[in-house]
Amino acid sequence: MFLLPSLLALACAAPLQGAVADHLALLRAEEAGRRREAQRWLARHLSREDYPVLAFQASSGDGEFRVRLAQALGSEDRHLGLVALLLDDLDPRAAALGEAAAREALRRWDPSLFDPPRPARRLPREWEEQWTRPYALAGERGDLAGRIDRLDRLGGGPAPLVLDPTLLGWRGETGEGGEPLVGS
């Protein structure tokens, strides 16, 4: 009685594993359209049960084969378990396929994740001219938190408030002409 569902699942899975193997073979087809269709089919039909076939196939195939397979695996969240199995594989080529698939999934979740960092720079000139202005600290009363809060309310700029650490130790010094020191 309990054996019947298992046999039925096995009978249904066997043709699908054959279809997975067929579509993996199509990833090596001469025509780009057939390779693209095989990749789409694999993206829709791969499951955790296909892990042994994928781990074995990871060691074969050219660069395009591995890229297309990684894209198929990274195309849907439901493949995450399969990707984790590949990442944990002892064969370095299967683990590399899992890593490439994980990168594809991460790229889909956050397209800017692997972009090179932007160069460090100051505020854009128009912001500096519009939003940077000096504030005298000499007349301020209260503790440092109150001063910072007041500067934040007065700032009104699009960038966060940044204080020069040397200002934290300031205790009423004045500039060369006797005027209070100012910051921006």
Q: What is the pLDDT of residues 109-156, one digit of tens each?
A: 888 887 887 666 666 666 666 656 665 555 556 676 777 676 666 665
Find out whether 96 and 67 touch, Cβ atoms under 8 Å. no
Q: What is the pTM of this model?
A: 0.55
Rounded to whole angstroms, the Cα distance separating 142 from 69 reads 63
**Using one digit for the tens of pLDDT, what is the confidence trace for 92-121?**
999 999 999 999 999 998 888 878 876 666
DSSP state, residue 178 = S
- pLDDT score, position 81: 92
Four-CA torsion 24, 29, 33, 34, nearest 10 degrees: -50
CA distance 98 to 113: 18
Q: What is d(CA 122, CA 108) in angstroms, rounded to the nearest whole number?
A: 31
| 9 vs 166 pLDDT, higher one | 166
Nearest to 54 by CA among 24, 81, 33, 79: 24
pLDDT given for residue 169 in this prediction: 55
Q: Is-contact 114 107, C-beta < 8 A?
A: yes
Cα–Cα distance for residue pair 49/79, rounded to 1 Å: 11
